[in-house]
Amino acid sequence: MNLIRLTKILHTFANYRVKDLLPKNKRKKRIHLLRLLSPFALKGKKCTSNPEKLRKALEDLGPIFVKFGQVLSTRPDLIPKDIAEELSKLQDDVEPFAWKDAQEFIAQQLEHPLEEIFTYIDEQPLASASVAQVHAAELKDGREVVIKVLRPGIKKMVKRDLELMRSVAKLARTFGNPGVQVDPVEIVAEFEKTIYDELDLQREAANASVLRKNFLDSDDLYVPEIYWEYCKEKVMVMERIYAIPIGKFDKLKAANINLKALAEKGLRLFYTQVFRDNFFHADMHPGNIFVNPANPQDPQIIILDFGICGSLPKGHKRDLANNFMAFFNQDYRRIAELHIEAGWVPANTRVDELESATRTICEPYFARPISEISFGEVMLKTFEMARKFSLVIQPEFILLQKTLLNIEGLGRQLYPELDIWQTSKPVLASIMRKQYGADGAFDAIKKNLPQWLEQTSEIPQLVHELLSLKTRPPTKLQQIEYTKITKLQQQKDNKNTYAILCAGFGIIAAILFSLDTTASKYLGMSIPVIISLSLAILFLYKTIKKIS
């Protein structure tokens, strides 16, 4: 452990008197330690609040701690709201490292002299952040690109500071305020996952490629092209774009951009990424969003920086979409039922209690003017309810909530009268119809048909084995066990058998129908198809009869 660096960290926190880390009942006993490390606390006296002291301390500790504070600001479920708001002011803007170091590092990663790949490279970086910096360049074939390169030695720096963060977190947990439901060690572990993801530029390039494929030829969203032949773990080369930063409102107005259309499009794109593609850009702050001014009345959005992307766990996309629709319809009972069905709360949770808590959270929002309704805030309130009902909060939901809150906030800045309700509900309803309606079912059949064809040869044997279980004489041991089985359990076994046979013959009928184009047909179907379909209907009838 680097004791000098650790002393620097503790001295900085002491200098700012970040005393909320100490429990009130022990603060007088521990305050002498702060005075010993920093007797005068000159920096802390200049701050007006404890959250501001924490932010200033992180800024003094350098870029890795600034990045830590930024990640922490996106976790209002883990830290108090006032601290999260203050940490959101942290700016990831640091001094660039020397071009000589960048030049050597890029050449080493690409394994070729730079003059063999690029016509020129701008030695002055376009942007410089705590983890990487970006240079404009031009390839030999004339394509304009940008080169994103990690800071030399950044991994060692991250590893060193993470080790110290874990040590400080353990101290904070030991001497921390028990009235604050925050686990510092958990917070550092969350940051560790995030920061290491951002240190792999090939992973970021892969994220960009997925988003580009999802919106290829789209007039609504553009993702710059990734040049994979020049992408490595620590260097990424991508297409350079020229557009207006979405935060430059004066430039947007000067270009006659339709701000209402722009705000609504941003919200629609969020729902499309989440519920159509299940892959969304999760770092949608103004610095990563640009606007193509070519069509001012129907502006195209351009996004950059793909280090943080998210997707929902299997099955949760539909659960979340249903929750959103229930919220749109103010159906709090359904919201409570969906939470239990999805396994987000313990199965023994009382529906009426969860319904009441949900109503308490949501109803005040519906009393607001339309322009003040925020689904991101509702999700945040839901996280605050989490502890009471032991709600299991998926990390992906945190990313989604943060992204939604950013999109809504930015949309309201662009167009204060943005009706999030009317913009969101039709988009989500349309996606739900396509994903889970007749069209979605047909697409699923087409997608799974090759796999079903591979499994066709196994179906007769499986059916034979299943039927053999019913006809083979039982052993003496089985006879003893069978005597313990109740009539209800026997009916359940029969019901499952009939359901499996119904599904099996239904699949066989579908496959034969799609493959058989030459045989004579009756009512548009060949005799084998009719037989298979009839058997499927017969076993469906027997299954329904058993259920009833």
DSSP state of 116: G
The pair of structure tokens assigned to 366 is 């519906």
Residue 365 has pLDDT above 80, yes or no: no
pLDDT value at residue 69: 80
Please report, in angstroms and rounded to a whole number, the separation of the first and last CA atoms in the chain: 69
Does 378 score more than 70 pLDDT? Answer: yes
Of residues 540 and 384, which shows the higher confidence score?
540
pLDDT of residue 77: 56
Per-residue pLDDT, 32: 46
pLDDT at site 449: 66
pLDDT at 240: 95
Which one is predicted more confidently, 222 or 380? 222
More confident residue, 345 or 105: 105
pLDDT at 171: 72
> Phi, psi at residue 62, to the nearest 5°?
110, 180
Within 10 A of 350 (CB to CB), how many other CB atoms are there? 11
324, two tokens: 């959103």
Distance in angstroms (rounded) separating the CA atoms of residues 136 and 113: 17
* Burial class of residue 238 (count of CB atoms within 10 Å of its CB; 0-12, 13-18, 19+): buried
Give the residue ranges of DSSP H helices in 23-136.
27-37, 42-45, 50-60, 63-73, 81-87, 99-110
What is the Cα Rg of the chain in Å? 30
pLDDT-above-90 percentage for the chain: 21
Name the one residue in this structure whose structure tokens are 């990045």.
Answer: 67
Model pLDDT, residue 117: 93
Return the pLDDT at 311.
86
Q: Which two tokens stand for residue 384?
A: 């605050």
Closest CA to 534 of 547, 544, 525, 546: 525
Q: Which of 198-207, 303-312, 320-329 has the lowest mean pLDDT?
A: 320-329
Catalytic residue among 283, 331, 352, 443: 283
Residues facing residue 144 across a β-bridge: 138
Instruction: Label residue 383 exposed, middle or buried (CB < 10 Å: 0-12, 13-18, 19+).
Output: middle
What are the CB-based long-range contacts (under 8 Å, 24+) for 239-243? 239/143, 239/144, 239/145, 239/146, 240/136, 240/144, 240/145, 240/146, 241/290, 241/302, 241/304, 243/290, 243/291, 243/292, 243/293, 243/302
Q: What is the pLDDT of residue 21?
A: 47
**β-strand partners of 416:** none
Per-residue pLDDT, averaged over 513-541, amounts to 72
Can you tell me the distance from the alpha carbon of 321 to that of 339, in angstroms, rounded to the nearest whole number? 12
Does residue 270 contact residue 411 with C-beta atoms inside 8 Å?
no
Q: What is the pLDDT of residues 61-83, one digit of tens each?
A: 777 788 778 777 766 656 777 77
pLDDT of residue 179: 42
Q: How many CA atoms lie within 13 A of 470 on its CB side?
A: 10
pLDDT, tens digit, for every residue of 174-188? 665 544 445 677 777
Task: Give pLDDT, residue 491.
Answer: 59
The pair phi, psi for residue 362, each rounded to 5°, is -85, -35
| Residue with the larger pLDDT of the pair 522 and 535 | 535
Helix (H, G, I), strand (E, B) or coil at 181: coil
Instruction: Report the SS3 class of residue 23.
Output: coil
Angstrom CA distances, 128 to 132, 156, 168, 312, stand at: 6, 19, 28, 31
pLDDT above 70: residue 156: yes
Q: How many CB atoms are located within 10 Å of the residue 320 CB?
A: 21
Mean pLDDT of the chain: 77
- Predicted local distance difference test score (pLDDT) of residue 27: 46
Helix, strand, or coil (residue 91): coil
Q: Is 133 in a helix, a strand, or coil? A: strand
What percent of the chain has pLDDT above 70?
74
pLDDT tens-digit readout, 3-15: 666 677 777 777 7
Phi and psi, residue 139, nearest 5°: -75, 165
Confidence of residue 477 (pLDDT cuts 50, 70, 90): low
Where is pLDDT greater, at 254 or 469?
254
Q: What are 331's two structure tokens? A: 């159906």
Asked about 161 being catalytic, the answer comes back as no
Question: Tens digits of per-residue pLDDT, 381-428?
Answer: 776 666 677 666 666 777 787 788 788 888 888 888 888 777 887 887
What phi and psi values does residue 292 have, to the nearest 5 degrees?
Answer: -80, 115
Contact 361/382 with Cβ under 8 angstroms? yes
